[in-house]
Structure 1
Amino acid sequence: MKEEVLTVKDLAISFQTFSGKLQAIRGLSFNLYQGETLAIVGESGSGKTVTARSIIGLLSKNSMIESGQVIFKNNDLLKYTNKQMEAIRGNQIAMIFQDPMTALNPTLSIGRQITEVLEKKRKMSRKDAVDEAINLLDLCGLANPKERMKQYPHEFSGGQRQRIVIAIALAGDPEILIADEPTTALDVTIQAQIIELLKKIQKEKQMTIIFITHDLGVVANVADRVAVMYAGKIVEIGSVDDIYYHPQHPYTWGLLSSMPTPDSKGSLYAIPGTPPDLLNPPEGDAFAFRNEYSLAIDFVKQPPLFEVRQGHYAATWLLHPKAPAITVPEPIQKRYEHFELKLKRGEIQ
């Protein structure tokens, strides 16, 4: 069994706003294993980025950690001071941000921005830092890295800037890399290139990655496990095969049904309604008012995470032994059949 490198336990985070206390993360727990890519998926506002920022200690001043732990190397990072986190941030846990243009300093050459990290985090000499920066840009697929070291962010395309941001994140030689929607601002072709780059880097450096996205389709070929978030909670977590071919939560069904496929005709499915107001979270299942399969209990009591199979859990009362049988959507039923076929062939353990 793979070694756990990070454990998040019962994390609850709120934000003080002009309208009141917004409960952004509500009892979040998951484990991260050595060398894996864990994708965290969900609609905007589900808490994905807040989760990532809490791990690396970059929450805003109006945030409050209500409860929970983030265990890394037997220490709770939530108890660390900002000064202590500086020793973790960058050279043990690094983060790639969503917009590469705002992540880069427009007044410094890209070479200086990378060498600065190498000199500070890895204590390299100026000459060694320059050589390593060129190697990192080459690893990240930037052509003519030596010549481009002297250029500034505005001289690069969006895809090239994202490669530079990845090179900066790698400069500290981190054990865990958090990629927060790294492909959202890019076109489809460049998205695919960045994903392939992350896969290549993980293989070469045996790195552990948390990949955050709102698009299930983006992570199909990059993730080992997928955690589906909704309203500050994980509602389903499992392997890629579990989530794509044997999903159990109605929210996951909705996300998968809204993905375009080669067979898609006409308009795509859209999950009805909107996410709940986390200033006043519902007592029961937060997805109940958007869920056409809701049971009476969904409106009064939050469901626990039921185990579907080893490593696959879903928080829905439909998995309770006394829940009525339902007819799942046709696209999801086809996925079930594909999953069962793969199980029968021994392609899934």
Structure 2
Amino acid sequence: MEKILEVNDLNISFDTYAGKVHAIRGVNFDLIKGETLAIVGESGSGKSVTTRAIMRLLANNANVESGEILFKGENINKKSEKEMQSIRGKDIAMIFQDPMTSLDPTMNIGNQVAESLRKHRKVSKKDALERALELLELVGIPNAKDRLKNYPHQFSGGQRQRIVIAIALICYPEILIADEPTTALDVTIQAQIIELMKDIQQKIQTSIVFITHDLGVVANVADRVAVMYGGRIVEIGTADEIFYNPQHPYTWGLLSSMPTLDTGEESLYAIPGSPPDLLNPPTGDAFYPRNEYAMKIDTMEAPPFFEVSPTHKAATWLLAPGAPKVTPPAEVVRRWEKFNQTQKV
């Protein structure tokens, strides 16, 4: 399997008036060509900072202290801004969370979709507009030909998100980064956008990094899932492994707090406490103050990754040899039992 993207020991901090925020701390993951990798976690866990680093779109007060980001074997961190401008939009494209702030209110939709193609592929305005029309039809804009000269405010929220997707896809990028692209949409439109992205991925064979805090969305879109907490990836595996055989207590908490059709009258689980203060990151496992299964070693030393399977690993001392056996929350056990039953059928 060809790796199109590799992130190795990435560490990023931000200089603030209060001090240095250690936002990303030793993050490692890769992206296989043609797959969808979902990165999930609470707000502030480092999801968006990680993906903005891939695009080299970090704020001025950000410092990439160490690590490398390899795109097809070349370190993005060592490229000049001019080199990055030739990569952004053409080879790696990004869909941002709020389509209204991503679109220029003074430019019609046809020109906005065509702009990236004209810049990177050097095609004529006529040819670029023809391709823009093809993409707008592909993403499901009704009467697209008649709406090329319309402006963003003349479209609904769901249509604007489709337009943003068309802009990101116009050059057929090798990697598409989707930063919570369905958050501002209602459930019905969310489902349509997810199906649209899956359909387009198959048609143009792009690889997707999907950022979200909504595990329900992840189940429908991801091949693999990386769970982030406190600026670190704490568990990574296939979608089935993360959803049905999670190993990290934080992943247990996320899954237990998600309503399902099997959820009874009992209250949904809520992870106690708050995310860590990354101005002063904990010495040990960042999740230990909120972890009811924490051991003494969690307060002193951050856990390494322990392998659960060749595709599944988690950073928790509960997987260490000699660690006490604990029973996951009832919702996690229920998921595991239901998954086993379906596998036997």
Give the TM-score normalised by structure 2.
0.98
Consecutive unaligned residues in structure 1, runs of 5 or more: none
Cα deviation digits, residues 124-165 of structure 1 (max 9, x gap): 111111110000000101111111110000111110000000
Consecutive unaligned residues in structure 2, runs of 5 or more: none
Is 1:317 the equivalent of 2:291? no
Do the aligned partners of 2:285 and 2:299 also contact (CA within 8 Å) in 1? yes
Task: Determine helix, strand or coil for the equivalent of 2:318.
Answer: helix
The match for 2:159 is 160
Separation (CA, whole Å) in 2 of partners of 1:236 and 1:338: 22
Do the aligned partners of 2:38 and 2:218 also contact (CA within 8 Å) in 1? yes
For residues 133-172 of structure 1, what are the structure 2 equivalents within 5 Å? 133-172=132-171
Cα deviation digits, residues 265-295 of structure 1 (max 9, x gap): 2532111000000000000000000000001
Separation (CA, whole Å) in 2 of partners of 1:263 and 1:4: 38
Separation (CA, whole Å) in 2 of partners of 1:82 and 1:18: 27
Task: Determine helix, strand or coil for the equivalent of 1:221.
Answer: helix
The match for 1:255 is 254
The match for 1:38 is 37
| Offset at residue 336 of structure 1 (A) | 2.2
Do the aligned partners of 2:46 and 2:228 also contact (CA within 8 Å) in 1? yes
Do the aligned partners of 1:224 and 1:240 also contact (CA within 8 Å) in 2? yes
Task: Determine helix, strand or coil for the equivalent of 1:199.
Answer: helix
The match for 2:83 is 84
The match for 2:8 is 9
Separation (CA, whole Å) in 2 of partners of 1:120 and 1:168: 12
| Offset at residue 214 of structure 1 (A) | 0.6
Aligned-residue CA RMSD (Å): 1.0
The match for 1:27 is 26
AA at the equivalent of 1:320: A
Do the aligned partners of 2:13 and 2:65 also contact (CA within 8 Å) in 1? yes
Do the aligned partners of 1:246 and 1:339 also contact (CA within 8 Å) in 2? no
| Offset at residue 43 of structure 1 (A) | 0.2
The match for 1:59 is 58
- Aligned residue pairs total 344
Task: Determine helix, strand or coil for the equivalent of 1:220.
Answer: helix
Separation (CA, whole Å) in 1 of partners of 2:72 and 2:306: 29
Percent identity between matched residues is: 64
| Offset at residue 343 of structure 1 (A) | 5.4
The match for 1:285 is 285
Separation (CA, whole Å) in 2 of partners of 1:225 and 1:282: 28
| Offset at residue 340 of structure 1 (A) | 3.7
Do the aligned partners of 2:172 and 2:206 also contact (CA within 8 Å) in 1? no
The match for 2:326 is 326
For residues 64-143 of structure 1, what are the structure 2 equivalents within 5 Å? 64-143=63-142
Separation (CA, whole Å) in 1 of partners of 2:108 and 2:253: 44
Separation (CA, whole Å) in 1 of partners of 2:195 and 2:280: 41
Cα deviation digits, residues 212-253 of structure 1 (max 9, x gap): 001111110110000000011000000000000000000000
The match for 1:276 is 276
| Offset at residue 123 of structure 1 (A) | 1.2
AA at the equivalent of 1:226: V
Do the aligned partners of 2:133 and 2:145 also contact (CA within 8 Å) in 1? yes
